[in-house]
């Protein structure tokens, strides 16, 4: 009797070992494929599809205050690269926009701020990535922002006045439409006499001394910041007879 029982023990040991291996395999599969509640887990970073981002400048030169847009193109190896793109100037983010996508590519034209300072700017585009597509960064493109020569406009009621009139001037100094207003002062010079007036949003008003003869005036703009250049313009008053 004892010999018969002992003869079955190898078979029982094999059965127990087989059941243990099956349980271990099931446990491993469950932990790798789903969470404890049975819902799918987020894909690992290594499972993301790669992407390639390009930044394209239509010109490497622009003037201060000018409207500048950079083209960004994103390609993936399969899934649609939805998401956003950030434009960096060095390590500082200066603009963000959302990609327009079609199949495995996306594109967007990103407007840069109108107050990008004068000088060299090393620009890169960084794609945000999504649940299927990995983030990527473009190569560096250099933009050279140049100073802008603003426009001086002086208006008055009439450039032909009666003798002894004190004309009122409205001075406007302007850059690109929609760009930053020129800051600084305007100097009004009449012969050896001159006076400075401060600009507010690029504008100022001023009343001249009495005009007694044909008089040539010069208006000079002195910029407060490096974005604009110094400019001047001449105007002439004549006397009515």
List, for residues 97-143, the tens digit of each pLDDT value: 999 999 999 999 999 999 999 999 999 999 999 999 999 999 999 99
Distance between CA 188 and CA 60 in Å, rounded?
Answer: 37
* End position of a domain, from candidates 146, 163, 191: 146
Query: What sign does the dihedral 55-69-227-86 (CA atoms) show?
Result: negative
Residue 165: predicted pLDDT? 96
Residue 80 in domain = yes
157 and 178 in a single domain? The answer is yes
Q: Does the structure show a pLDDT above 90 at 41?
A: no
Cα-based distances in Å from 236 to 161, 190, 216: 11, 10, 4
136 and 175 in a single domain? The answer is no
91 φ, ψ to 5°? -105, 15
121 and 97 in a single domain? The answer is yes
pTM as predicted: 0.74
Of residues 221, 209, 71, 203, the one with CA closest to residue 147: 221
109 and 158 in a single domain? The answer is no
Residue 35 in domain = no
CB 125 within 8 A of CB 70: yes
184 and 216 in a single domain? The answer is yes
Residue 162 in domain = yes
200 and 220 in a single domain? The answer is yes
b/e per residue, 92-113, with b = 16+ CB within 10 A? eebbebebebeebbbbbebebe
pLDDT in tens, 220-233: 999 998 899 999 99
19-33, 77-91, 134-148: the lowest-pLDDT one: 19-33
The SS3 assignment for 78 reads coil
24 φ, ψ to 5°? -65, -40
Residue 113 in domain = yes
Residue 10: predicted pLDDT? 52
137 and 196 in a single domain? The answer is no
53 and 132 in a single domain? The answer is yes
55 and 139 in a single domain? The answer is yes
70-74, 123-127, 140-144, 189-193: the lowest-pLDDT one: 189-193
Residue 184 in domain = yes
Residue 175 in domain = yes
122 and 170 in a single domain? The answer is no
Q: Does the structure show a pLDDT above 70 at 43?
A: no
Q: Does the structure show a pLDDT above 80 at 18?
A: no
Cα-based distances in Å from 206 to 78, 114, 169, 239: 65, 30, 5, 20
What percentage of residues in the chain have a pLDDT greater than 90?
A: 77
Cα-based distances in Å from 69 to 26, 55, 95, 150: 56, 11, 10, 21
For residue 20, give both structure tokens. Answer: 């243990």
Indicate the number of domains in the chain.
2
Residue 10 in domain = no
What percentage of residues in the chain have a pLDDT greater than 70?
A: 81
CATH of the domain at 178: 2.60.40.1930
Distance between CA 106 and CA 99 in Å, rounded?
Answer: 6
128 and 171 in a single domain? The answer is no
Of residues 121, 118, 120, 143, the one with CA closest to residue 61: 143
Residue 208 in domain = yes
Q: Does the structure show a pLDDT above 50 at 90?
A: yes
Residue 4: predicted pLDDT? 44
Residue 49 bridge partners (DSSP): 133
* End position of a domain, from candidates 146, 166, 190: 146
Residue 241: predicted pLDDT? 81
Residue 23: predicted pLDDT? 41
b/e per residue, 179-217, with b = 16+ CB within 10 A? bbbbbbebebbeeeeeeeeebeebebebebeebeeebeb
155 and 110 in a single domain? The answer is no
Residue 107: predicted pLDDT? 97
Distance between CA 206 and CA 196 in Å, rounded?
Answer: 10
Q: Which structural domain, as residue segments, surrounds residue 159?
A: 151-239
The SS3 assignment for 94 reads strand
């Amino acid at each position: 009797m004892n010999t018969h029982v002992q003869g079955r023990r190898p078979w029982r040991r094999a059965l127990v070992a087989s059941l243990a291996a099956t349980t271990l395999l099931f446990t491993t599969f469950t932990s790798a494929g789903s969470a404890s509640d049975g819902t799918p887990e987020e894909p690992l970073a290594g499972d993301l599809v790669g992407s390639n981002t390009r930044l394209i400048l239509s010109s490497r030169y622009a003037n201060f205050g000018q409207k500048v847009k950079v083209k960004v193109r994103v390609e993936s190896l399969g899934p649609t690269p939805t998401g956003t793109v950030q434009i960096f100037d060095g390590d500082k983010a200066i603009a963000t926009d959302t990609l327009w996508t079609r199949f495995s590519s996306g594109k967007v034209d990103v407007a840069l701020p109108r107050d990008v300072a004068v000088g060299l700017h090393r620009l890169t585009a960084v794609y945000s990535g999504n649940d299927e597509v990995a983030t990527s960064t473009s190569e560096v493109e250099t933009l050279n922002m140049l100073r802008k020569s603003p426009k001086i406009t002086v208006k008055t009621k009439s450039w032909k006045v009666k003798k002894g009139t004190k004309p009122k001037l409205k001075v406007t100094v302007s850059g690109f439409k929609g760009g930053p207003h020129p800051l600084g002062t305007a100097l009004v010079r009449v012969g050896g006499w001159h006076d400075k007036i401060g600009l507010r949003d690029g504008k100022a008003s001023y009343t001249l001394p009495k005009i007694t003869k044909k008089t040539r005036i010069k208006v000079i703009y002195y910029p407060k910041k490096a974005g604009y250049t110094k400019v001047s313009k001449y105007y002439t008053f004549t006397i009515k007879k």
